[in-house]
Amino acid sequence: MISKGRVFTVIALFAITWYLLQMTSEVTPVPIKKALALFPHQVGGYHLSKSFQSSAGVVELLGVDDYLQYNYIDDTNTGINLYVGYYKAVGVSGGYHSPKNCLPGGGWGIDRVKEVVLRGGAIGEKQATVSQMLIRNGAEYQMVLYWYQNRGRIIASEYWEKVYLVLDAMLMQRRDGTFIRIMAVVPDKQIEATEEKLKKFAEQTMTLLEDHLPGRQL
């Protein structure tokens, strides 16, 4: 059983985080460096097969300032879906929606969540840690990698993203941020092979996004 002390500590931390976010809401919105519409249609061995446009109502609901949702395929017709959402000031006009809350539904549930290490990362970094989810609907599986690429950092955890958001709002007067999600169907329960494909795609995507996103230094 979870102790009352631990529950109180968690509630207190959330309360403090909420208070600090309110206190640091007066920040200067940071425009994206390069529009996501200019993101490459070729990523490694994958090329763009389809792009999606959300309705004005969905964009307004999310509060996103720039976004893309692309389907890529390779020569074997293996598909990968990429979503990137950019916010000039997270929590002011819009904010992230965790895939832990958004993806389950319609028969889909989360089988496991873990962190994986990628080669490369933000400029100057040799590796990065991102989150991975394996979701299942009956015998069908899909794999998801996601992370936050914010102000020169790659952040895997929603918790640490909020911590850095508060610190950077106080110290840098910035709350700009980006959520990235990559998804693929797992064919014939080939979980390890799908993970390797997604990791390679994520490493390339992460590097390419550095040309579009504001870094540590504006």
CA neighbor of 72 nearest in space, from 98, 90, 55, 48: 48
Whether residue 72 lies inside any domain: the answer is yes
Whether residue 218 lies inside any domain: the answer is no
Q: What is the pLDDT of residue 1?
A: 52
At position 2, the amino acid (one-letter code) is I
CA neighbor of 149 nearest in space, from 121, 170, 125: 121
Whether residue 65 lies inside any domain: the answer is yes
> For 78-104, what is each residue's pLDDT tens digit?
999 999 999 998 887 777 777 777 666
Number of domains in the chain: 1
Whether residue 98 lies inside any domain: the answer is yes
Whether residue 157 lies inside any domain: the answer is yes
Q: What's the CA gap between 135 and 174, in Å, rounded?
A: 34
Work out the average pLDDT over 127-141.
Answer: 92
Output the pTM of the full model. Answer: 0.84
Q: Are 89 and 27 in contact (CB under 8 A)?
A: yes
Residue 147 has pLDDT above 90, yes or no: yes
Q: What percent of the chain has pLDDT over 70?
A: 89
Whether residue 33 lies inside any domain: the answer is yes
Bigger pLDDT: 25 vs 218? 218
Range of weakest confidence among 1-15, 36-50, 62-76, 175-189: 1-15
Residue 37 has pLDDT above 90, yes or no: yes
φ and ψ of 119, to 5 deg? -80, 135
- Helix intervals (H) in 36-190: 56-62, 99-102, 158-172
Q: Which domain holds residue 173?
A: 4-209
Q: What is the pLDDT of residue 195?
A: 95
In the DSSP assignment, the letter for residue 88 is S
Whether residue 214 lies inside any domain: the answer is no
